[in-house]
């Protein structure tokens, strides 16, 4: 489910009394779609008065207004994204189960 295409700037209250403005500049891809309107999305997003950045975040679709609202996620600069890509490329995907075990060192 992707409600990002025709979306102007939006605001949401993330803490009591604190409102954050965000704008999804580009939707890159969807990692997963879960139950009850939850998804994990990869986007280029602008948060408040900061420069647009690479964003990996969970979103939920509101039953009230049908819009997607941001949940927890991570925002990365270009340099951070490059570093993360190098790290992920160094992981042998054939050994994921071993990496996840408590006895394995990466």
Residue ranges per domain, the chain? 10-77
Query: Which pTM does this prediction carry?
Result: 0.73
pLDDT value at residue 2 = 54
Contacts of 25 (CB under 8 A, 6+ apart): 43, 44, 45, 46, 52
pLDDT in tens, 24-77: 999 999 999 998 889 999 999 999 889 999 999 999 988 888 778 889 999 999
CATH topology of domain 10-77: Transcriptional Co-activator pc4; Chain A (2.30.31)
Q: DSSP state, 17? A: T
């Amino acid at each position: 489910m992707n409600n990002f295409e025709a979306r102007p700037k939006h605001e949401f209250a993330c803490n009591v009394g604190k409102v954050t403005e965000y704008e999804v500049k580009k939707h890159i891809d969807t990692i997963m779609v879960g139950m009850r309107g939850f998804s994990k999305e990869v986007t280029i997003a602008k948060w408040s008065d900061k420069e647009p950045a690479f964003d990996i975040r969970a979103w939920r679709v509101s039953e009230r207004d049908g819009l997607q609202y941001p949940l927890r996620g991570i925002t990365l600069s270009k340099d951070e994204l490059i570093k993360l890509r190098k790290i992920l490329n160094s992981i042998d995907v054939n050994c994921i189960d071993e990496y996840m075990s408590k006895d394995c060192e990466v």
